[in-house]
Structure 1
Amino acid sequence: MDFYYLPGSAPCRAVQMTAAAVGVELNLKLTNLMAGEHLKPEFIKINPQHCIPTLVDGDFSLWESRAIMGYLVEKYGKDDSLYPKEPRKRALVNQRLYFDHGTLYQRFADFVYPQVFAKQPADPEKEKKMLDALEFLDKFLEGGKYVAGDSLTIADLSILATISSFDVAKIDLSKYANVSSWYARLRKDAPGAAINQAGIEEFAKYFAK
């Protein structure tokens, strides 16, 4: 399977961890967005939305990291533990994935990326919204080891990639005890943890510029 990606991207790292969890080897296709490689006709033919991550499995193309993660588990997973089929368990995993996509990661990007890529000053209102999202996550983790139930799921892998980016951006996680303990454990024990670590080291280079 071809996987078009950037190693520093949290959504890309989440997919790579999922692939590691189900034992699938990805044929990595480094895609330089700054050089416009995602706008080349051959890539647009694969993905007209021209975004990464993008997975190509035979004659099937798929983008949006959380959709790719679900696909990998359903097609290649040995069981459904990472993405349960039971309706309520799956609904909870989906809710956490949507929370990551639309709230946690989005608010991080809204606050951090303008500072890093456009050299804009920090926006206090956007910072507050981002920290509110961390409070929500801390609440989700109350009394549990994982973000969506009592076992590891793709929601953990997606949110781990996001929280790793918070860490690189020097967002203080120590105020969120449940998030901090979950992050300390998963950054070492999650499938593909070493891949995630290598990716966040690449992401950190943007902050050194």
Structure 2
Amino acid sequence: MGKLTLYGIDGSPPVRSVILTMRALGLDFEYKVVNLLTGEHLQPEFLKLNPLHTVPVLDDDGFILCDSHAINSYLVSKFSRDDSLYPRDLQKRALVDQRLFYESGTVAPAGVAITHQVFWQNNPEIPKAKIDNLAEVYKNLNLFLKSSDFLAGDNLTIVDFHVLAVLSGMVHFLEIESSKYLRLAGWMQRMKRLPYYEEANGARLAQIIQLIQSKDFKIV
């Protein structure tokens, strides 16, 4: 196996989704922090890797790949001993893909709508409509879990990592109440019991949580 290098920053949910996948696969990799706050992603050396100046970026022995969804499906397809995290069976894979599209098109944007305002625009007054939109996401994810323990069936897949990375930050804006979202709350607890959860996601959230708390946000 060639050398794997991951470029990213802990505050990024897409980056954490890739770290979760790499830990689940037991992969060794070098982690190079790209500090978005100081503009390192706009420097010429990084733009050579990714002209779109986003993280994560994977370097697999010279093969460069961007976008967490593409990276995670690639990693499982190349390195996994089985296909459970991203099934080869067309119908099972289609279900994972559908959930991935929902995450990238709805879940992540609901989170970004809040964090971009609070962190980048330094505006702590969050419109209630944005919180309501997040609540709708919780409701739909809860429906996905109606008859299974994981978001795309009975087995853990990469979509669980993607959604976990987003929601583990969003719960500090809107709690996942078990009285409203019983299945989703249970799923979150199952994910936190993964042996690599704390190193790959939990501990990496500390800086983000401190930042959220420092903003003293309110819903208007």
Q: Same fold (TM over 0.5)?
A: yes
TM-score (norm 1): 0.94
Per-residue CA shift, 1:137-189, capped at 9, x if unaligned?
0100012100001111111111111111112x241201211110100111122
Per-residue CA shift, 1:72-110, capped at 9, x if unaligned?
101111111100011110011011111111101111211
Q: Structure 1 pair 208/172, CA: closer, same or farther in 2 (3 Å)?
A: closer
Matched, 1:80 2:80: no
**Aligned equivalents of 1:192, 1:60: Cα separation in 2:** 27
**Is the 1:56–1:62 Cα contact (8 Å) retained in structure 2?**
yes
Aligned to 1:122: 126
Q: Match of 1:34, SS?
A: helix
Matched, 1:146 2:150: yes
**Aligned equivalents of 2:173, 2:127: Cα separation in 1:** 16
Aligned to 1:35: 38
- Taking the TM superposition and a 5 Å limit, the aligned residue runs for 1:91-170 are 91-120=94-123, 121-167=125-171, 169-170=172-173
Matched, 1:47 2:50: yes
Aligned to 2:175: 172
Q: Structure 1 pair 45/12, CA: closer, same or farther in 2 (3 Å)?
A: same
Cα deviation, residue 112, structure 1: 3.5
**Aligned equivalents of 1:7, 1:198: Cα separation in 2:** 9
**Is the 2:56–2:67 Cα contact (8 Å) retained in structure 1?**
yes
**Aligned equivalents of 1:141, 1:126: Cα separation in 2:** 23
Per-residue CA shift, 1:57-78, capped at 9, x if unaligned?
1121111111111011011111
Aligned to 2:206: 201
How many correspondences in the alignment? 208
**Aligned equivalents of 2:210, 2:29: Cα separation in 1:** 24
**Is the 2:192–2:198 Cα contact (8 Å) retained in structure 1?**
yes
Q: Structure 1 pair 204/55, CA: closer, same or farther in 2 (3 Å)?
A: same
Q: Match of 2:163, SS?
A: helix
Cα deviation, residue 117, structure 1: 3.0
Corresponding letter in the other structure for 2:200: I
Q: Structure 1 pair 191/70, CA: closer, same or farther in 2 (3 Å)?
A: farther
Identity percentage over the alignment? 34
Cα deviation, residue 49, structure 1: 0.8
TM-score (norm 2): 0.90
**Is the 2:145–2:151 Cα contact (8 Å) retained in structure 1?**
yes
Q: Which moved more, 1:186-195 or 1:58-67?
A: 186-195
More contact order relative to length (CA 8 Å, sep ≥ 6): 1
Gaps of 5+ in 1: none
Aligned to 1:9: 12
**Aligned equivalents of 2:193, 2:207: Cα separation in 1:** 18
Aligned to 2:218: none
Gaps of 5+ in 2: 215-220
Aligned to 1:21: 24
